[in-house]
Amino acid sequence: MQQYLVIQLARFGDIVQTRRLVLTLARRGAVHLCVDRSLASLARLVHPEVVVHEVVAHGAGEGGGAAMLAVNVRVFEALRQAGFDEVYNLNHSGLNLAMSALFPSAVVRGHRLVDGQLVRDRWVRMAFRWTTWRRLAPLNLVDFWASLAADPVPPGEVNPVAVRGGGGIGVVLAGRASRRSLPPDVLAACLRAVFEGMGGARVVLFGSQAERPLARQFMRMLPGNVVERTEDLVGRTDWTGLVDALRGLDTVLTPDTGTMHLAARFGVPVQAFFLSSAWCHETGPYGLGHKVWQAECECLPCLETAPCTIGVRCLDAFRDTAFLRLLAGRPGDMFPRGMMGMVSTLDAVGATWLTVFGEDVHAPRRVALRELVGEYLGLFVGEGLTDASLTELLYAEQDWMLPPPGQVIPC
């Protein structure tokens, strides 16, 4: 039996977004998944078919660097001796690259060290090029990682179709990046609208322990009839408890967060608020049955670490009364300005988005770039490409002028 290793040392949401790659490999052999130890139990819930290996990637914890090194060295040695047929190294952190050197470079996909130098597969290099024009992002991250393997499983088999379960409304208070989340007053207004539209459904709040003060502030902004129907689980669940609380909800209101991806993984309908640096064509909830309310400004998607000089104007659409009427199920004659309403859909490449209202002026070029990517992957027969500049977002001369690392140029 073939043996595969996936090294995923990023955060919560990335563990979930590895799903299509893991499923693809699991149908060919035994899959091992290496994650930070704080996410190991989550990885087992999301990917029950894999063998999970735990390393210390996000902080040394008790005992400091020496203890971290002692834990990791034991894991590294066990992985090195396992004789994996293929290793998928999905990130390019220092620890990821160090781990790549444990294996023969010929079996490592993604990011690896060769003679002390960082080397990326052509597919990864292509992605780095198209991310310089993020508005044209042709692939969801789930599909990008899955396409490191040949012939990934059909996108419709990754997550179940999302359907209402009768359990009410989930609310994720915030993500790790503050500007990508709605302020408490704006989120409270959105919840009131959805609560009204669903006839006073039960409400469940989600978040980390660090967001307990935010939960108290948020609750003070809700009317009494909503508070009476609200269960505050912020900072009060482990990974199993979070999954159990999500299952069966009717909808989850959320920014671009790991909980959003976890809800989609278990077929819970998502209504996601995307603004600032969050761009649904890159990291929207995967599968059928989800909605995204995508802010639309010429400066989006922005760089989260750069200051906003226009007062986070992309928030304005979420304050619009026309948007609140939509959430309440009472659409008027006007759609909110500065926003696109989008529904999830699938094609041969993977997840994509259909714009229901608003103007996506970059859609024609994005679709053309997606077709070009699909042709590269052997899924489409590209015809009629009229914008040759799009090829520069995928290909560079060195892709075919230079040999792969380690290959000798014949005299």
The tens digit of pLDDT for each residue in 69-120 reads 888 999 999 999 999 999 999 999 999 999 999 999 999 999 999 988 999 9
> Domain count of the chain?
2
Give the end of a domain, one of 120, 143, 177.
120
- The answer to whether residues 334 and 312 touch, using CB atoms and an 8 Å cutoff, is no
State the Cα–Cα distance between residues 117 and 402, nearest whole angstrom: 16
Q: What's the token pair of residue 193?
A: 């609208």
DSSP type of residue 307: P
Whether residues 66 and 153 share a domain: the answer is no
Q: pLDDT tens-digit profile of 62-71? A: 566 677 788 8
Please give the radius of gyration of the chain, using alpha carbons only, rounded to the nearest integer.
22
Whether residues 159 and 115 share a domain: the answer is no
State the Cα–Cα distance between residues 127 and 21, nearest whole angstrom: 16
* Domain containing residue 366: CATH number: 3.40.50.2000
Whether residues 83 and 162 share a domain: the answer is no
Q: Mean pLDDT, to the nearest integer, of 343-349? A: 97
Tell me how far CA of residue 269 lies from CA of 82, 250, 288, 359, in angstroms.
Answer: 40, 6, 9, 24
Q: Is the pLDDT of residue 409 over 50?
A: no
Whether residues 134 and 167 share a domain: the answer is yes
Residue listed under structure tokens 């009768």: 166
Whether residues 247 and 356 share a domain: the answer is yes
- Burial class, 121, CB count within 10 angstroms (exposed 0-12 / middle 13-18 / buried 19+): middle
**How many degrees, rounded to 5, is the angle at CA 282 between CA 396 and CA 381?**
55
pLDDT confidence of 383, banded at 50, 70, 90?
A: low
Whether residues 219 and 353 share a domain: the answer is yes
The helix (H) or strand (E) run that includes residue 231 is: strand 230-232
Total Cβ atoms within 10 A of residue 119: 19
Amino acid residing at 372: L
Q: What are phi and psi of 80, to 5 degrees?
A: -60, -35
Q: pLDDT tens-digit profile of 159-183? A: 999 999 999 999 999 987 688 999 9
- The answer to whether residues 142 and 344 touch, using CB atoms and an 8 Å cutoff, is no
More confident site: 380 or 19: 19
Amino acid residing at 34: C
The helix (H) or strand (E) run that includes residue 259 is: helix 258-265
Whether residues 108 and 223 share a domain: the answer is no
Whether residues 207 and 149 share a domain: the answer is yes
Give the end of a domain, one of 120, 146, 177.
120
Whether residues 266 and 331 share a domain: the answer is yes
Q: What is the pLDDT of residue 366?
A: 95
The helix (H) or strand (E) run that includes residue 24 is: helix 19-26
Whether residues 114 and 173 share a domain: the answer is no
Output the pTM of the full model: 0.94
String of DSSP letters for 29-84: EEEEEEEEGGGHHHHHHH-TTSEEEEE--S---TTHHHHHHHHHHHHHHHHHTT--
- Among 204, 194, 248, 249, smallest CA distance to 229 is for 204
Expressed as residue numbers, the domain containing 48 is 2-120
Q: pLDDT tens-digit profile of 195-243? A: 999 999 999 999 999 999 999 999 999 999 999 999 999 999 999 999 9
Whether residues 311 and 390 share a domain: the answer is yes
More confident site: 345 or 399: 345
pLDDT confidence of 410, banded at 50, 70, 90?
A: very low
Give the end of a domain, one of 120, 140, 160.
120
Whether residues 38 and 160 share a domain: the answer is no
